[in-house]
Structure 1
Amino acid sequence: MSVVLKLYWDTPLAHAIQGGNRSVCEWCLAKGAERSWGAFDTAYRAGHTELAELLRPPGPIPSSRLAGPLLRKVAHGCDLATLGREWERVLLGVTRAADPADDAEGEGEGPDYDGEPSLQEIKDDALASAIGSPTPDWEAKAEFMAAKGAMLGQSCVHNASKFPGLAAVERLAWLKARGLDPRADMDLFRVAHAGNLEAVRWLLSQGVRSVPEPVQENLAYAAPLPALQLLLEEGVVTPPHRAVRSAMRRGSAGLPLLRWLVERYGEEAYGEPFGAAARNGDARTLRVLRRLGLDWGPPCLGVLAAAVGRELSLPTLRWMVEEGCPLGEEALLKVAVERLEWLKARGLKPLEHMNLVGAACSCNLDGMRWLLAEGVRTLDGIAESDLVIHVPLPAIQLLVEEGVLGPPHQVVRSAINQGRDGLPLLRWLVERYGDEVLDAFAAGYEYEEDFRWGVGDAECCGSADMLRFLLERGAIEVEGPGVWRAVASNGSEADLEWLAEVGWPRPADGEPYKAAARNGDARTLRVLRRLGLDWGPPGLGVLAAAVEHGVSLPTLRWMVEEGCPLGEAAMHKAVAELQKGGSPIQADVLEWLEEQGLQLAVIVDNGV
């Protein structure tokens, strides 16, 4: 038996292009790699002019869609002579594409199809690339494109701002001399983030002073120390405590900035470093800050509360209070019994500021019992369903037994709605209160005012384990085909097989297939087919959902072979959604769909 090994030479060719290795490129071409415009402009981008000529396909550039990226890369990586030569070729190719003689309508004034860039856009992009070029003749290339009618835009400023030191200033000044105002907030952020002090000073001298608060936060966190010092002293980043918070977020790397801020601003940083250190659980930094002489700040900052919440040791809490840290009522939130007793002995009022939810979420059972003994019974408006999701089982059990959460049959509904994750809680409720806790509201899909669970909850839970548990106890019967869709959404083959085994009514609407298709779950699609479920009507759009969510072409072929309707209207809608979201359809999928008789006007992703 002979095996034919097919190699795709385009990938090694791409690596050879990046390295400028002509001999390897020639070898790949001899083995079957194709000359393409993608390989051609990749070589130009890397500055390999001679290699680009080797890889150029025959004939003119077929469209402005290819001409634009090519000219950008030439303007960025090649010299002026190459840019001039390639410009003439691009101009010829784009002019031919727009020739009225080639236009059946005789108009010839625009691109061949929607979305193709105009000649003006191509020129503008090439000018921006020339300004961002690392070659010594960047200015000559920019002047060349400007002479061809290219217009300056904000992308020119962005590209100029990327350079270090005076190189950025030189380009920014060139732009200003030609009428483009480079004063833009994000350009200041870019050069400051890069630590380019010369460019920062130049932008400040041009009047860049106002920066939005979110940008200030990013500057304070990401800019190198010298650049941030300059921005603070110039009043661009204000107030100083914003920088203090950012210094604390940097950890040990932010210590030089923190020292400078303390020396420069002193009490203007009022309490913020302590709050940040406490929220990080950093006892060492708390002591360093105190040694530097900083003030703790007012009680409303909650420094002690943050330290207690991060479970700093009792000796550290004692030291903080001895050093003058305000107690603050919020220090009573989410703490252990030992700390609660210690704080209560110092005059805090637990009955006014306790947080039972915080103790429950951390499964602090001792703390919960202490809070309950102190009379705290409220859950601060937190929904029962949210508690069942986020609170550990032992804490939920304690809340139910104490009557804070419930009544029990109401908790049953929350447990069922969680599906498999809620099964441990449901088992405990049955063990603790008996099977009568499972008595559902007889009307099925409607609920009583006491929020008993209904059949609809069981059908939507999506868990065969939960359904099996309820069936075994006679709480539900085998009915309701909607269960299949919920279980298919979870993608469990064993659960689907169990539904078939117990004879759960099969739906004819195809919704289980659509649920699996929306998950891109080819395996579940095959399981559903093996179990004999119907695909549903063409209007449901099962195949369209599979295309939209990235199901592979072999699986799509299998679906049609197995009788899945094409659903042309749904397919058009799905493809439109893909294009709207910026995710073009794969070329092989498009070709196959057209073979099935569907005509789709789409943007194609060739996988380049």
Structure 2
Amino acid sequence: MVRAGCSGLRWGGIREGAQCAAEGGQLGIMEWLLEKNPDMLREHMLMCAAWEGLDLPTARRLRWQHCQRNRRVEDEWDEDDLHNALVGALGDPTPQWRSKVEWLLEQGAQVPQDDNDNEGGKAYDSSEGGWYVTLPFRAVQGRFPGESICERFEWLKSKGHPVDCSCGGEPLAYAIIGGYTATVAWLLEHGATPAAAHARMEDLLPGQLEDKHLGVLQALKAAGCLELRDFVHGAAAGGAMAVVEWAGEEWDWAEDGVLTPALFTSGAKSGSVEVMRWLLQRGCPMSEGAWSKAAESGCEAAVELLAELGCPIPADSQGIFTRAVERGAPIATLEWLLAQGCRADWGKARATVGKHDEFLEPFEDSKVNVLAWLSRKQREEDERARQQRT
């Protein structure tokens, strides 16, 4: 079935397909695609993918074929190719990573030690759209549990190739985002610099945290590099109740000055009634800005709670309705907003639905149903206005 789906691929699709197959360990599919265009064996990125997803004998065979195609001697490694192969092998999620990495180290591969060294210390990663990243950074982004990352770093250290964690914050930042508690603790213990990662934490953490980040946050606090302000909005916006409750036990929120209308609005963004009530019980004030965020969440219970609590509806209620439509709120929530007195700009609402990419962010109710509902509600409103005039 997979081959049938690939039968009409052009060159670019065949190349990408072969790389993905190699990276995913799908040897049969990769070889079938190579039969269609053997010149792909010249491709450096195919070799990278092979070292990540295929076993050592197969990767070495492809390496030999690659050298034959490019009229190169197999034993004469290009420095970039050697580093890229090492990055791929270290990112293999299966136990075969060890034999590949050991063999590559015997060929002269070096673990990069300087995050700012642009010559030899970087490895190309196509998944990053052309960015050059360090080997430790690539390992943290791998497709395996966080504990396995520590195991690989420890193994490299035992072989005389310690990973220098003190030179930059990318590995630490991405371990934090991934929720890899053991990896965060290991990196902190081995010299990772929270100060270097802090900029990334500010950029990424305030988004939407999940309960899986609790262990990571606890490790950061134990290391003395976490403040309540660093993550409280992200915890509220993500509806991470376990994180919120833990933070409530560890910090004095009133003393830290975080109980603001903006924090409650972050909680409304999550649509979590539990988080919103928790914040209110601790004296967090509301503001009318919470309406738009609750509406965007699409959670009818969240907007009902705002009405129950007497949160004032802003004068620009049309904006609330349009944003709710834009975020794919269900028709039941839109009905409720209208019943609470929100006004609708029907033209803007329909235009918003028309521009919405349902593939990237699907509506809870289909676009067709939402458009039909908007048209019907506008007709009903127009009819009421006509009757009032007569």
- TM-score, normalization by structure 2: 0.63
Structure 2 CA distance, aligned partners of 1:356 and 1:281? 28
Q: Paired residue for 2:172?
A: 356
Q: Number of aligned pairs?
A: 310
Code of the residue aligned with 1:279 in structure 2: it is: E
User: SS at 1:350's partner residue?
Assistant: coil
Map 1:245-324 to 2 at 5 A. 248=22, 251-255=27-31, 258=34, 269=42, 273-280=46-53, 282-283=55-56, 285-289=58-62, 294-295=74-75, 297-301=77-81, 302=83, 303-313=85-95, 315-317=98-100, 319-321=102-104, 324=107
Q: Paired residue for 1:423?
A: 241
User: SS at 1:403's partner residue?
Assistant: coil
Asked if 2 retains the 8 angstrom alpha-carbon contact of 1:279 and 1:306, the reply is: yes
Q: Paired residue for 1:516?
A: 324
Change in Cα spacing, 1:534 to 1:258, as seen in structure 2 (3 Å) is: closer
Q: Which runs of 5+ in 1 are unaligned?
A: 1-192, 196-214, 223-243, 442-451, 536-540, 567-594, 597-608
The alignment status of 1:546 with 2:349, answered yes or no, reads yes
Asked if 2 retains the 8 angstrom alpha-carbon contact of 1:248 and 1:277, the reply is: yes
User: SS at 1:328's partner residue?
Assistant: coil
> How far apart are residue 457 of structure 1 and its match?
3.6
Structure 2 CA distance, aligned partners of 1:309 and 1:438? 45
Asked if 2 retains the 8 angstrom alpha-carbon contact of 1:508 and 1:534, the reply is: no
Identity across matched positions, percent: 22
The alignment status of 1:376 with 2:192, answered yes or no, reads yes
Which gives a bigger RCO, structure 1 or 2 (Cα 8 Å, sep 6+)?
2
Code of the residue aligned with 2:242 in structure 1: it is: P
Equivalent residue for 1:466, pick from 275, 283, 307: 275
Equivalent residue for 2:219, pick from 394, 398, 404: 398
Change in Cα spacing, 1:284 to 1:437, as seen in structure 2 (3 Å) is: farther
Change in Cα spacing, 1:490 to 1:520, as seen in structure 2 (3 Å) is: closer
Deviations along 1:45-85, whole A, 9 cap, x unmatched?
A: xxxxxxxxxxxxxxxxxxxxxxxxxxxxxxxxxxxxxxxxx
Q: Paired residue for 1:557?
A: 376
> How far apart are residue 472 of structure 1 and its match?
0.7
> How far apart are residue 304 of structure 1 and its match?
1.6
User: SS at 1:483's partner residue?
Assistant: helix
Code of the residue aligned with 2:229 in structure 1: it is: H
> How far apart are residue 517 of structure 1 and its match?
3.7
Deviations along 1:548-579, whole A, 9 cap, x unmatched?
A: 3253445533455357998xxxxxxxxxxxxx
Structure 1 CA distance, aligned partners of 2:296 and 2:43? 53
Structure 2 CA distance, aligned partners of 1:517 and 1:565? 23
Instruction: Report the structure number with the largest CA radius of gyration.
Output: 1
Structure 2 CA distance, aligned partners of 1:265 and 1:525? 53
Q: Paired residue for 1:408?
A: 228
User: SS at 2:200's partner residue?
Assistant: coil
Structure 2 CA distance, aligned partners of 1:261 and 1:295? 25
Equivalent residue for 2:290, pick from 468, 478, 483: 483
Asked if 2 retains the 8 angstrom alpha-carbon contact of 1:248 and 1:273, the reply is: yes
> How far apart are residue 486 of structure 1 and its match?
1.8
Asked if 2 retains the 8 angstrom alpha-carbon contact of 1:299 and 1:327, the reply is: no
> How far apart are residue 316 of structure 1 and its match?
1.9
Q: Paired residue for 2:155?
A: 342
Structure 2 CA distance, aligned partners of 1:563 and 1:409? 48
Structure 2 CA distance, aligned partners of 1:426 and 1:362? 18
Code of the residue aligned with 1:458 in structure 2: it is: F
Map 1:60-209 to 2 at 5 A. none
Code of the residue aligned with 1:382 in structure 2: it is: R
- TM-score, normalization by structure 1: 0.43
Code of the residue aligned with 1:505 in structure 2: it is: P
Change in Cα spacing, 1:285 to 1:508, as seen in structure 2 (3 Å) is: same
